[in-house]
Structure 1
């Protein structure tokens, strides 16, 4: 089994290209095992998927640092692949809190994680520019010398602030502050995605499977994207399957949904101790 340093080297090399790789988002150990079995090269946690599994909305207030890192640790233990984590806003506004979160994340075997500039406060949803940069810098300093890739997220487009110039300005500043990967979720189209990729000097992550237009891996790679995640969309797809099955039974009294279910023997093999 590869150790932390081996996983980190693999993860780092994936970001060097060529092309783009997909980093899907499990929400627990079981979904991590399934995705590992399908041949993906790395995994990333999803705060949304984890929140749904706990019967909660996806929000920074709903998920604390201890629970988030405990979930991430279970995913790390379930796979031989490098794992990156959705670390929300670092679980506090202070730069030192972000730094502590990064140190804790590395200690549980994570090979990467993201810090976002969203506050969780609808009345002031985005951290002021200077503080946002200071938070990323503190996280980068905490990650320095550790087997950890820091992703910095500019969240304008998720909070009804469709300002591409400010988003790029933030990503460029996050790069100078030491971020290894840059991420602006919610970009409206391929033109904006290409503009971001051409404007920064670090690998860019783009999320697919949420709202808005959808592009193929090939189209995103051609635009300059290096990493593609799916956020909570795999978790919502799983919930969609459960909803369809339950509605079939409730509304029609039939059980045809079982035709699409993974056989019990296959699940037993997938979840066995020897399966990674």
Structure 2
């Protein structure tokens, strides 16, 4: 499935308001279909959730073929725009990142997250440039959400984090980024200053003590992502239920569900 230009246009538009774009990140075709059925206007993947679902650790260890296969399975079952988290691009070579972007655009993706991590900003700029060129060669205005880990990894002293974030946002914008993703930022004043200091749509990630959606929108944020939080919560709950079942053999706890087998099976059936 090739990415559709109209889906890319819609995904860009969703970052312009008037509502906050809230994305409950999925990690496989089933969770993507579920999120769409609940009214999600787009599907974004969580790199951690995708890695864990395939038996790999998060952190650029997932084989690219597994990533592409996951994307293909997601775009097969949903009709809303799909964005995927490609971590650091699974390579330090910007040319290889460009090749990956070509593959995932061909698989139907219209947006990506790509992160700087602990690497120099220059490297992410080069990756963004290659990603932009690769998508344009396929006729897609890819939404490139540049993630900076200034807050998440404490890459600058607390009093310098807004300044460093905005410096990187300018560089990533000039390289071709469409949005700036600042996971770990939770303080209201920091969010206000970052949103006011860049013309890129600001994406935040669910964290304890993060202001609610209405406040984030008022502060200038445009997108809120669950990140790996839903995957973590589900795996934690699954571990609790499975441990109890393995230890006791009692069926009651695992046979009480909000959705029945029939409802879930119908949801996953061809439309």
The secondary structure found in structure 1 opposite 2:17 is: coil
The secondary structure found in structure 1 opposite 2:256 is: helix
Give CA deviations for 1:130-173 in whole Å, capped at 9, x if unaligned: 33322222322333342421111112222232441222211111
Distance in 2 (CA, whole Å) between partners of 1:63 and 1:50 is: 8
- Give the TM-score of the pair, scaled to structure 1: 0.88
Task: Determine the structure 2 residue equivalent to 1:266.
Answer: 263
Task: Determine the structure 2 residue equivalent to 1:159.
Answer: 153
CA shift at 1:71, angstroms?
0.9
Distance in 1 (CA, whole Å) between partners of 2:248 and 2:123 is: 55
Indicate conservation of the 8 Å contact 2:152/2:184, yes or no.
yes
Task: Determine the structure 2 residue equivalent to 1:239.
Answer: 235
Q: 1:162 to 1:263 in 2, by over 3 A?
A: farther
CA shift at 1:253, angstroms?
5.3
Q: Number of residues paired by the alignment?
A: 263
Matched, 1:135 2:132: no
Q: 1:5 to 1:146 in 2, by over 3 A?
A: closer
Distance in 2 (CA, whole Å) between partners of 1:38 and 1:83 is: 15
Indicate conservation of the 8 Å contact 1:24/1:42, yes or no.
no
Task: Determine the structure 1 residue equivalent to 2:64.
Answer: 65
Distance in 1 (CA, whole Å) between partners of 2:5 and 2:134 is: 17
Indicate conservation of the 8 Å contact 1:47/1:58, yes or no.
yes
Q: Please identify, of 195-204 and 3-12, the stretch whose mean Cα deviation from structure 2 is larger.
A: 3-12
Report 1:87-106 matches (<5 A): 87-106=86-105
Distance in 1 (CA, whole Å) between partners of 2:17 and 2:110 is: 18
Report 1:50-89 matches (<5 A): 50-60=50-60, 62-89=61-88
Matched, 1:11 2:8: no
Distance in 2 (CA, whole Å) between partners of 1:185 and 1:3 is: 27
Distance in 2 (CA, whole Å) between partners of 1:35 and 1:181 is: 22
Indicate conservation of the 8 Å contact 1:4/1:147, yes or no.
no
Indicate conservation of the 8 Å contact 1:133/1:170, yes or no.
no
Give CA deviations for 1:208-267 in whole Å, capped at 9, x if unaligned: 1x4x42321112111111111111111122212312322443566542342234211111
Indicate conservation of the 8 Å contact 1:22/1:227, yes or no.
yes
Task: Determine the structure 2 residue equivalent to 1:204.
Answer: 202
Report 1:107-118 matches (<5 A): 107-118=106-117
Root-mean-square deviation (CA, aligned residues, Å) is 2.0
Q: Please identify, of 189-198 and 242-251, the stretch whose mean Cα deviation from structure 2 is larger.
A: 242-251
Q: 1:148 to 1:132 in 2, by over 3 A?
A: closer
The secondary structure found in structure 2 opposite 1:10 is: helix
The secondary structure found in structure 2 opposite 1:157 is: coil
Distance in 1 (CA, whole Å) between partners of 2:12 and 2:194 is: 21
Q: Please identify, of 216-225 and 142-151, the stretch whose mean Cα deviation from structure 2 is larger.
A: 142-151
Task: Determine the structure 2 residue equivalent to 1:195.
Answer: 193
Distance in 2 (CA, whole Å) between partners of 1:57 and 1:103 is: 24
Structure 2: unaligned runs, 5 residues or longer: none
The secondary structure found in structure 2 opposite 1:150 is: strand
Task: Determine the structure 1 residue equivalent to 2:169.
Answer: 171
